[in-house]
Amino acid sequence: MYKTLYFYNASTKIYDHSELVDVSDKVPDKVTNESGEVLNVTTIRPDDGLYTPRKFDAENQTWLGTPKEEWLAAHPVPAPEPSEQDKTNAALMLQIAQNKTAQDQFNAQAMLAIAAQNGGTN
């Protein structure tokens, strides 16, 4: 059986990483990461839907995160740039639409001319 340990920075309380360990392993109070930062450890899983930075509130034994709206405002998704193929396709579609309009106008004028030659009768 395994359990997940959640590591967070001891000074900032910000989530660092998680590790899967054997259930019989002793949970350390603190460890040091590769950067030399002291990390605290908990077995309390952060709730789904928390946005970064996720911080551990040791007093209340819960994880806190940034509200979704605030996180999205700080991390806007840029509008995608159309590819050269998209631009070419758009230009061709515009040309086809303009040609169709011109053809429709020509057809209407031709039918009026034919109707006028026939004196408006069939």
Give residue-wise pLDDT tens across range 36-90.
Answer: 899 999 999 999 889 999 999 999 999 999 988 899 999 998 999 999 999 999 9
Residue located via tokens 């429709």:
104
Q: Which two tokens stand for residue 106?
A: 């020509």
The share of the chain scoring above pLDDT 90, in percent, equals 75
- Looking at residue 90, its amino acid is A
Run of H or E residues at 53: strand 51-57
Task: List all residues 6 or more positions away from 20 whose beta carbon is below 8 Å from its beta carbon.
Answer: 2, 3, 4, 5
**Alpha-helical segments (H) within the chain:** 68-74, 84-117
